[in-house]
Amino acid sequence: MKLRVFLAVLLFAASVAYADTLDNFNRPDSPTLGPNWTVQSGGAEIYSLTARASNASQAFNLVTYNGVSSNNAFVDVYSVDSSLAYIALDIAYLDVNNNYFIKVQNQGGGASGFNYAAFYYGNNGPTGDFFLLNSPFTSGQITASFLGTIATLSIDTNFDGIADQTYTFDYGISTGGTGIGLGLYGTAQADNFGTSAIPEPGSMLLLGTGLLGVAGTIRRKLSL
């Protein structure tokens, strides 16, 4: 009985969603983000152990992370001054014109921190919804996800794992893609980019087979 309970707990723990930081950008300053990233438009660089736009005046910087398909992504964001700047999570990426581009933006003009957000279709629009946040913030973790054509933006301003603001938007159209990436503009900085993933059925089958082997070994030892 105790053996069955033990294995059940292991299987449950392995099957739940887990957070996977894909890039913490902790490397020397560089004009690119490195080989794990593909530039789709503009460019991005490593700066002071974070990611930011490589050209602050280029409005359509978009980079995607190689080899990962997911319906969600997260990143830490920092507004470092009062100039116009944004950080976007790009999800459902198919190509530069077909993706869900979800950003927080410092609108500039002396504004303090990120005070606007947007759900755009395609690289920084032009279609979608641009709106004022309920509460501005200078740093936090943002998470973007989609289910069907409905996307969600969650903002955790004190890094405690609990969203302080949540917004949803129905795009009404699927991009057909599952890639993830970052959009960057101005001086805003990004850190700790990642995704939350659930193991694929094939992985779960391998895990189950392994657990059965463990169970057999334990039973044999107990019977000695």
Per residue in 92-132, pLDDT (tens digit) is 999 999 999 999 999 987 777 999 999 999 999 989 999 99
Q: Are residues 22 and 10 in the same domain?
A: no
Do both 12 and 33 map to the same domain? no
Residue 192: phi, psi to the nearest 5? 55, 60
207 has a pLDDT exceeding 80 = no
**186-211: average pLDDT:** 68
SS3 103: strand
For residue 2, pLDDT over 60 is answered with no
Q: Is residue 34 located within the same domain as residue 5?
A: no
Average pLDDT value for the chain? 85
One domain for residues 215 and 181: no
d(CA 146, CA 71): 6
> pTM for the whole thing?
0.81
Residue 62 pLDDT exceeds 70: yes
Q: Both 135 and 205 in a single domain?
A: no
The Cα–Cα gap between 61 and 182 comes to: 8
Whether the predicted pLDDT of 11 surpasses 60: no
- Tell me how far apart the alpha carbons of residues 139 and 19 are, in angstroms, rounded to a whole number: 20
CATH of the domain at 64: 2.60.120.200
* Residue 121 sits in the same domain as residue 205: no
Instruction: Reply yes or no on whether the pLDDT at 20 is more than 70.
Output: yes
Statement to judge: residues 205 and 192 lie in one domain: no
pLDDT band at 60 (very low <50, low <70, confident <90, very high): confident
Q: Are residues 52 and 10 in the same domain?
A: no
Sole residue written with tokens 């979800």: 102
Which among 119, 77, 101, 110 has a CA at the least distance from the CA of 179? 101
In b/e form, how buried is each residue of 38-65, taking b as 16+ CB within 10 angstroms? eebebbbbbbeebbbbbebeebbbbbbb
Same domain, 113 and 218: no
Q: Measured between alpha carbons, how far is 123 from 141 in angstroms, rounded to an integer?
A: 21
The tally of domains found in the chain comes to 2
pLDDT at 134: 96
Whether 6 and 42 map to the same domain: the answer is no
Please tell me whether residues 67 and 121 are part of one structural domain. Answer: yes
Q: Which of 48, 55, 7, 59 is nearest to 25 (CA)?
A: 48
CB 64 within 8 A of CB 90: yes
CA-based diameter of the chain, in Å? 77
Domain of 223 in residue numbering reads as: 1-16+201-224
d(Cα 137, Cα 79) in Å, to the nearest integer?
8
207 and 218 share one domain: yes
Asked whether residue 5 carries a pLDDT value surpassing 80, the answer given is no
